[in-house]
Structure 1
């Protein structure tokens, strides 16, 4: 019963995206599943995708009795600007269900704050094979509950650099967000996010990925460092290409009231190759 809100929202968005495929997905695809799996490892690839990433964490709060389900809906839309450049839009819309994150907090469910990243990226790699993109990142105060967001507008730079050699992909993504406006009673946002990543894609389109999604809060001077290991595979459901998988995470370092120990992740991604 307690998980009902997040799953209702999950299936609502899944239904919208599935109806979308009736109009834009063709029955034959020029790219192999292996090539698509490699594109999913590249944050600035020219591939429309809609990932649904469901995370579970526990041992939250000063008494370690809180838990959180976090569904990140992350549509990625590349746009051709000219013969040399693409603009890649990456949105993270969090849907949250959490309990007892601090004494007396009880339960909250709803939307969190939206994070919108825009990457201007050359269509061709550098002479040394490096792929890169850079642009602005925006924090939008869309949370439906005070405890699900920062109640701040934020802005900052973001960048990604990576290299793909055979089955291997390695690189890093980073951003820094400063709050510009919002509720004066809430703590300012001043945070640096870094995500080094490494993945290996097999001939049958399975990807083994390792990354960290580390955040340093300059206001509280604290790190949050989850280490994630996932396994995904690209396959077809009828005429719809998808990537499915999951994995585990370990909180190597956390904030005073943040998650601890092990967590889990499930991933379901709709793919719309050109």
Structure 2
């Protein structure tokens, strides 16, 4: 459905404000003990941790389209681990984007609605393999967009892989996938896209951390000069408690050194994640 930009924009601002207020903390927050907050921070940073979480990630993409306007994408991406047996977990991740899309043509209108849902499933051993935490499995894209400008119009599938290393205060790794379309609207282009997301985090006592997690994408169906989006940047975050609820708040910025013609120049990413650890002990002891 169509909706003016000013009507949707406050929700993104409110999320960013909530993140920044959370990072600052207040007397109303019951602070984690230093060790517990640090361990929970590492679990929150691990995309295949044995930890239920509910992230709300708002991406402000600046100077998008022919009029250099703001694109706002709120990704709701719950992570739910399933214990298959004593050796293996199945980590499920669902990314549901809610998009405020600027007009892509001179005569077009801004659109607001649901984008294409992207579930991923990672089979991951409960114990690290020679110090490496890893997971592998399929990822899907469903054409659930509520407007033609918010969807690729194709069903896509492909492999996805995550590798994570936890060394002292450092936690780093990479997530990579590639999807190909196999069904959908015949009048829409085929899909052949890769995503590579390296991530590196340095954790301080008390739940504070520095982070860099750029999302590099390649559209193999596009012309060579329009194929890549390559951002650089980073930010900071903190894991703490609001009453008894652990949360992870993060703020970061990325500049696209390579981008398609109408792609964003840079991105501000604000994320608030609700964490639901099963036990009080460190959530990463048996395994980002």
**Equivalent residue, structure 2, for 1:212:** 214
SS, match of residue 38 in structure 1 = helix
1:120: how far off? 0.1
Determine the C-alpha separation between the residues in 2 that align with 1:161 and 1:9: 31
1:212: how far off? 2.0
TM-score where L is the length of structure 1: 0.87
Determine the C-alpha separation between the residues in 2 that align with 1:255 and 1:48: 36
1:174: how far off? 0.3
1:100: how far off? 2.8
Structure 1, unpaired ranges of 5+: 12-26
**Equivalent residue, structure 1, for 2:285:** none
Q: Is contact 1:58-1:64 (8 Å) kept?
A: no
Q: Does 1:41 align with 2:45?
A: yes
SS, match of residue 128 in structure 2 = coil
1:6: how far off? 6.6
**Equivalent residue, structure 2, for 1:68:** 71
Q: Alpha-carbon deviations, 1:52-111, whole Å to 9, x = none?
A: 0111112212x3523201101110000100000000001110001122333222200011
**Equivalent residue, structure 2, for 1:53:** 57
Q: Is contact 1:66-1:101 (8 Å) kept?
A: no
Q: Is contact 1:66-1:102 (8 Å) kept?
A: no
Of 203, 206, 228, the match for 2:205:
203
Q: Alpha-carbon deviations, 1:100-133, whole Å to 9, x = none?
A: 3332222000110011110000000012x01100
> Residues 7, 135 of structure 1: CA spacing in aligned structure 2 closer, same or farther, 3 A cutoff?
farther
Q: Does 1:256 align with 2:261?
A: yes
**Equivalent residue, structure 2, for 1:236:** 241
SS, match of residue 259 in structure 1 = coil
Of 103, 107, 111, the match for 1:104:
107
**Equivalent residue, structure 1, for 2:284:** none
**Equivalent residue, structure 2, for 1:21:** none
Q: Alpha-carbon deviations, 1:129-166, whole Å to 9, x = none?
A: 01100000000111001001101000000001110001
1:228: how far off? 3.9
Structure 2, unpaired ranges of 5+: 15-29, 279-288
> Residues 104, 8 of structure 1: CA spacing in aligned structure 2 closer, same or farther, 3 A cutoff?
same
Of stretches 113-122 and 234-243 in structure 1, the one that deviates more from structure 2 is 234-243
Q: Does 1:121 align with 2:114?
A: no
TM-score where L is the length of structure 2: 0.83
**Equivalent residue, structure 2, for 1:17:** none
**Equivalent residue, structure 2, for 1:91:** 94
Determine the C-alpha separation between the residues in 1 that align with 2:9 and 2:62: 17
Q: Which has the higher contact order (CA 8 A, sep 6+)?
A: 2
Q: RMSD of the TM alignment (CA)?
A: 2.2
